[in-house]
Amino acid sequence: MNLLFLTFLFPLVGFLILAFGRGRISENTAAVVGVGSLGLSFLSAIWVGSQFLLHPPAGGAYSQVLWTWMSVDSFHAPFALRLDGLSLTMMGVITGVGFFIHLFASWYMRGEEGYERFFSYMNLFVASMLFLVLADNLLFLYFGWEGVGLCSYLLIGFYYKDPANGYAARKSFVITRVGDTFMAIGLFLLFRELGTLNIQEILTLAPQHWQVGNATCELAAILLLLGAVGKSAQLPLQTWLPDAMAGPTPVSALIHAATMVTAGVYLIARTHTIFQLAPIALELVGVVGAVTLLIACFSALVQTDIKRILAYSTMSQIGYMFLALGVGAWSAAIFHLMMHAFFKALLFLAAGGVINACHHEQDIFKMGGLRKQLPVAYASFWIGGAALAALPLISAGFYSKDEILWEALASHHMWLLAAGVLGAFLTPIYTFRLIFVAFHGEAKLQAHRGQGVSYWLPLVVLMVLSTFIGALIHPPLANVLPASPGEAGGHGKETLALISGSLSIIGILIAAGLFLGERKLVTAIANTGPARLLRRWWFYAWGFDWLYRWLFEKPFLALVAINRRDLVDFTAGIIPAVARWSHDILSATENGRVRWYAASIAAGAIAVMAAMMLA
Amino acid sequence: MTLNEQQFIALLPILITGATTVVVMLAIAFARNHWWNATLTVAGLNLALASIILAARVAPQTVTPLLVIDGYSCFYMALILVITLACATLAHAYMEDFAGNREEIYLLLTLAASGAMVLVSSRHMASLFIGLELLSVPIYGMVAYTFRNHRSLEGGIKYMVLSAAASAFLLFGMALLYAHSGTLSFKGLSGQFHMAGLHSPLLVVGALMILIGLGFKLSFAPFHMWTPDVYEGAPAPVGAFLATASKTAVLAVLVRFLLEASAENELAMREAMGVIAFLSILVGNFLALTQTNIKRLLGYSSIAHLGYVLVAVVAANHLESEAVAMYLVTYIATTLGAFGVVALMSDAGRLHDADAIFNYRGLFWRRPYLTAVLTVMMLSLAGIPLTAGFIGKFYVIAAGVDAKLWWLLGALVVGSGVGLYYYLRVVVALYLPEPGMVQHDARLDWGQRAGGIMVLALAAVVLIVGIFPQPIIDLIRDAGITALHLS
């Protein structure tokens, strides 16, 4: 297990090689370095993971102190990694799914300008993300947190020549920054109250320090939650995720589906003790998740861009994870996180294959009939879509989502359960709307099929993981996360599974009825007045962008207009003016005359002594 | 008085350095050869450095009432020897094209080094004074070494005249202390400070005069006026020595005096030092604000940096000597590096050193690695995290917070803010596109010369200490520097 540091060292070295070799290395070398570093990282993760599972360390966690930055007096800043069931699960997802996405990207990005730049950012992302999940200290976690934010910004704006992409990158950066700022305040608060940022110490100190429902604890939990919603694109900071689809598709698969956006879920699970002590904040987590999942479902129903549909589905699936956290089903949330990483990466990669095949066309209504031309992508979409729609028994998504719904029932959160069930009904409709529109019907364009092992291997592997086979993987979370309310089972579980399963099948059938064939019915409905209005409203994601423009942008710009002369700047300008003025006065004393210097020494000496004698 | 074997071993570093001076002098008399004489010097200094290991093994040893070789003096002697070695390599690169006699600078350098070593191991006012003069007199000569450049000559003479004035303070202070107590050893004075306390004006004035005399050498405000002129006039390698070895030795003896003679217990001393630190930080930083001459800028910055260290001394708590040592290590590495770049950019064959910031404009496009070194040094001087300067500053702030010196810490924060401005101004100039004509440049093969390798190594040290400071911290603790507090 002492090879743990290798997992993030390899991508970091890969990043350095690619960053410094820019313009000097060929595409093939860049691909070998970029994908190879991830492969090595994946191998070391497997090695470390197998060691961890075969010889479980004492206390269920292994910590590796890399070095102590400094230790002065009572201040210690050790730099340590911590591996337990939770970080092992995350590490497995990041390196495993990350490796296959890198492999796919080496095919997808072939011939693009900035090939090695792409891989350098991707490697840096993986390194930061591993740093985030392995850190034993909230400060280092925050380092990784900012690192992935930076990489996300760089990769969304990868095609920087189009200003719209730059805008999308800035938007995501600024909005997640809002969350990060709250999180930083939360960290300050925790440090002030508990005197440490070490995660394990916080988890042991918090219950001794605070009673359940303590106001400070609630505040800290809510601040952490705000950080989490920013990163995970949940209400109210969800607006950046659809725009983030401006980046290359493998980026959407890796960062905006499988790993980074689930960091918020990880953060809450990691600091679960604080949330257990803060019932209001915990309730809020569930509500945020439920509302986001519904909002995203409705928006996904009317989108036409293949990646935006997937983006909204990601948002809604993370909503499920938040819902699970909110009802205290920690393991279920992480389990769903893992399943979601598999099938959403699959869907995004397949979408990448489709987009590449269709000459960068992303509108599903302009595709049509791709089923014969792109069989692999079609199969991927079916399997991934089935998992997303939680098709009973055969799909991975069914097991994890059913778990969440059951926990909601077992903990008597009826409203959250209702939202979850409604979402379970809507998800298959929008998922299979995408599949039926893009792959069935008559062919509207000539697609060229992807080739090569780096194209189909990632898809096949992720396809396998998205079926019930993937659901056989059980993350070793028992030692890390507390038991959930519905763990023991109980009556009603089978009934609920039956209901949600049949809802999923009904959803698919409805989608088939509406979108297979001529689509007369759906067009007729869509063209009625209220439906048009609703469609527009949903298409623009319930108008949050508009709302924020009026709530924040406009008042801010108005303030700017009033303060054109910049009062703050004027006051700030006093400081350099004073500095300059002091400088001028003091400079006058440096006149180069020895007699003046000698006199100043004598005068200074007399002044010092007089002051001390008189005092 | 007889010298036993152990005392002899303890004295070896000083003896070898002194012997090196004699050998180099004879070698110069025998044959003037720049490379050969420089090599002899370096060999002698390395030998002295190695002998510190032996000396540390027998430490602590008291040699006559004047000198003591303990962990504290071993640590500072090692620092001084490393500085002298660095300056010797810089001088070799710098003096290559000098028209006059090039070799005597090594003589002066080793002489000054032995003075500094006496200073750090002295425990008596007599050896303090001898060491101080042995350190200072060769420096007058070195500052004025390139005497055809009138600034160099002017700087040397100014430094000499003003030093004499400061020495007068020092001697008068000693006389007052002696008049009151009848002893000049630090230990003997210690009893006096314990007994007399606030009530004896003779004692207080005497101690304050010692502080003033040493404060001049450390260029504390308000005794700082000479600093920029002398730094500007001194050839770059000499400037490096003046800014590092001289300050280190004098500060080390000041701290020893304060601790061993318990002069710290004297409230007036602490208050006076607090005022001096406060003034030094602000005056140094404000004076540097719009400075366009990089040597003067480093001079002003040294005023401020010595002010920062003094904060740790005023704190007078268990962190004091550790913080001072750590700050000095980081300050030495950084200042040597900065002066080293200036030295490599200049040579004595020209009338002026490359000391205008304008000379460095766009240097990045011509000498990227040298620019990287200077950038690291400037960032470290500014105290940016992950450089050595940050660690030093962290220590000082830790000591200050512990002693609750809020107004001094306030000055420190303001000073650091101002410092950021003028250090970064240099960095900005380094990367600005070239304005056409090239005036000064380092030789193309600078990196293969001893001085160049030394400067690159310093940059590595500054970064490594910034990222991974624990080994240095452990070294300082192992050297037994903190033991002074107990004695």
A366 shares its domain with A292:
yes
pLDDT at B204 over 90: no
Mark whether A407 and A512 lie in a shared domain.
Answer: yes
Average pLDDT over residues A359-385: 84
Q: B183-188 long-range CB contacts below 8 Å, 24 or more apart? A: B184/B124, B184/B125, B184/B126, B185/B65, B185/B123, B185/B124, B185/B125, B186/B123, B186/B124, B186/B125, B186/B256, B186/B257, B186/B260, B186/B261, B187/B123, B187/B260, B187/B261
**Selected residues 325-384 of chain A with any CB under 8 Å from a CB in chain B:** none
> Any CB–CB contact under 8 A between B208 and chain A?
yes
Answer for the pair B378, B423: CB distance below 8 angstroms, yes or no. yes
Question: What is the C-alpha separation between A346 and A397, in angstroms, rounded?
Answer: 13
Q: State the distance between the two ends of chain B, measured CA to CA, in whole angstroms.
A: 25
Across the range A555-574, mean pLDDT stands at: 82
pLDDT range class, residue B196, cuts 50, 70, 90:
low
Query: pLDDT-derived band of residue A354, with 50, 70 and 90 as boundaries?
Result: confident
Which residues on chain B are in Cβ contact (under 8 Å) with A589? 225
Q: Give domain status of residue A42, yes or no.
A: no
pLDDT tops 60 at residue A304: yes
pLDDT at B437: 57
Cross-chain CB nearest to B286 (options A583, A605, A609): A583
- Tokens in use for A527? 């063209």
pLDDT one-digit tens code per residue, B284-320: 999 998 888 999 999 999 999 999 999 999 988 888 8
Q: Are residues A526 and A555 in the same domain?
A: no
In a domain, A484, yes or no: yes
A95: exposed, middle or buried (C-beta count within 10 Å: 0-12, 13-18, 19+)? Answer: buried
Asked if A347 and A495 sit in the same domain, the reply is yes
pLDDT of B171: 95
Structurally, chain A folds into a number of domains equal to 2
At residue A518, the pLDDT reads 74
The predicted structure's pLDDT at residue B199: 59
- Of residues B158, B161, B208, nearest to A609 (C-beta): B208
Q: How many whole angstroms separate alpha carbon B415 and alpha carbon B435?
A: 32
Res B442 pLDDT > 90: no
pLDDT given at position A587? 87
| B395–A72 C-beta distance less than 8 A | yes
pLDDT at residue B484 tops 70: no
Reported confidence tier of residue A363, pLDDT bands at 50, 70, 90? confident
Dihedral sign, CA of A453, A459, A464, A465?
A: positive
**Chain A with chain B: Cβ pairs closer than 8 A:** 102
Note the pTM of the prediction, 2 decimals: 0.74
Q: Name every chain B residue with its beta carbon within 8 A of the beta carbon of A70.
A: 391, 394, 469-470, 473
For residue B159, name the pLDDT band (cuts at 50, 70, 90): very high
Q: Tell me if A550 is assigned to some domain.
A: yes
Range of the domain at A471: 278-539
Residue positions counted in chain B = 487
- Residues A409, A296 within the same domain: yes
A456 and A434, same domain (yes or no): yes
Higher pLDDT, B275 or A442: B275
Domain that includes residue B142, residue range: 5-486
Which of B289, B386, B465 to probe by mutation at the A interface, max A CB count within 10 Å?
A: B289
Q: How far apart are CA B307 and CA B313, in angstroms?
A: 10
Nearest Cα of chain B lies from the Cα of A138 at a distance, in angstroms, of 19
Q: Do A72 and B394 touch (CB under 8 A)?
A: yes
Minimum distance, in Å, between the CA of residue A75 and any CA atom of chain B: 9
Backbone angles phi, psi at B68, to 5 degrees: -135, 130
Q: Does B420 touch chain A (CB under 8 A)?
A: no
| A67: contact with B, CB 8 A cutoff | yes
What is this model's ipTM? 0.89
Structure tokens at A571: 């006051």
Residue that terminates a domain, selected from A539, A564, A597: A539
Instruction: State both tokens at A36.
Output: 């190879």
To the nearest whole percent, how much of chain A has pLDDT over 90?
Answer: 14
Residue A181 lies in a domain: no
Q: What is the mean pLDDT of residues A393-410?
A: 85
Structure tokens at B394: 């962290």
How many Å lie between the alpha carbon of A567 and the closest alpha carbon of chain B?
A: 22
Question: Stretch A279-288: mean pLDDT, rounded?
Answer: 90
Mutation test of the interface with chain B: which of A74, A609, A613, A614, choosing the one with the most B Cβ atoms within 10 A?
Answer: A609
Contact: B212, A605; criterion CB under 8 Å: yes
CA distance A143 to chain B (A): 14
Whether residue A217 lies inside any domain: the answer is no
Tell me whether A611 touches chain B (CB under 8 Å). Answer: yes
Whether the per-residue pLDDT at B474 is higher than 60: the answer is yes
Token pair in block for residue A562 = 């009033």
Mean pLDDT of chain A: 85
Collect all residues with Cβ–Cβ distance below 8 Å to B211 and sequence separation of at least 6.
Answer: B254, B269, B272, B273, B276
Query: Which residues in chain A are closer than 8 Å to B400, comparing Cβ atoms?
Result: none
Q: Say whether both A533 and A558 belong to one domain.
A: no
Position A33 in a domain:
no
Q: Do B225 and A596 touch (CB under 8 A)?
A: yes
What gap in Å lies between CA B376 and CA B393, rounded to an integer? 16
What pLDDT, on a 0 to 100 scale, did the predictor assign at position A322? 92
Q: Is residue A247 part of a domain?
A: no
Q: Do A609 and B223 touch (CB under 8 A)?
A: no
Identify the pLDDT of residue A213: 81
How far is CA A270 from each of CA A84, A141, A237, A327, B207, rounded to the nearest angstrom? 11, 11, 21, 16, 59
Contact flag B470-A70 (C-beta cutoff 8 Å)? yes
- Number of structural domains (chain B) is 1
Which residue from A minimizes the CA distance to B466?
Answer: A69
Give domain status of residue A584, yes or no. no
**In angstroms, rounded to a whole number, what is the distance separating the alpha carbons of residues B75 and B427?**
33
Confidence category of residue A469, pLDDT binned at 50, 70, 90: confident
Contact indicator for B205, B268 with CB cutoff of 8 Å: no
Residue B357 near residue B425, CB atoms below 8 Å: yes
Q: Is residue B329 a contact partner of residue B465, using CB atoms and an 8 Å limit?
A: yes
Most confident listed range (A14-28, A374-388, B214-228, B343-357): B214-228
Tell me which residue in B229, B275, B319 faces A592 most closely, judged by beta carbons: B229
Residue A479 in this model has a pLDDT that exceeds 80 = no
b/e per residue A163-199 (b: at least 16 CB within 10 A): eebbebbebbbebbebbbebbebbbebbeebbeebbb
| Amino acid (one-letter) located at B466 | G
Do A517 and A533 share a domain, yes or no? yes
Is the minimum CB–CB distance between B164 and chain A shorter than 8 Å?
Answer: no
- Residue A535 shares a structural domain with residue A560: no
B39 vs B264, more confident: B39
Instruction: Name the residue of chain B whose CA is nearest to A67's CA.
Output: B468
pLDDT score, position B385: 84
Q: Among residues 71-100 of chain A, which lie with CB inside 8 Å of chain B?
A: 71-73, 75
Residue B436: band (very low, low, confident or very high) from pLDDT cuts 50, 70, 90 = low
* Phi then psi dihedrals of residue B301, to 5 deg: -65, -30
Question: Is B324 at the interface with chain A, CB within 8 A?
Answer: no
CB contacts, 8 Å: B229 with chain A: 590, 592
How high is the pLDDT of residue B340? 93
A73:B398 CB<8 A:
yes
- Which pLDDT score is estimated for B321? 86
pLDDT for residue A614 is more than 80:
no
Instruction: Convert the pLDDT of each residue in B449-473 to its tens digit.
Output: 788 889 999 999 999 998 888 888 8
Please tell me whether residues A422 and A555 are part of one structural domain. Answer: no
Domain boundary among A539, A564, A594: A539
Sign, Cα dihedral of B122, B123, B129, B130: negative
A430 plus A404 within the same structural domain: yes
Kindly state whether residues A482 and A505 are assigned to the same domain: yes
Residue after which a domain boundary falls, among A493, A521, A539: A539
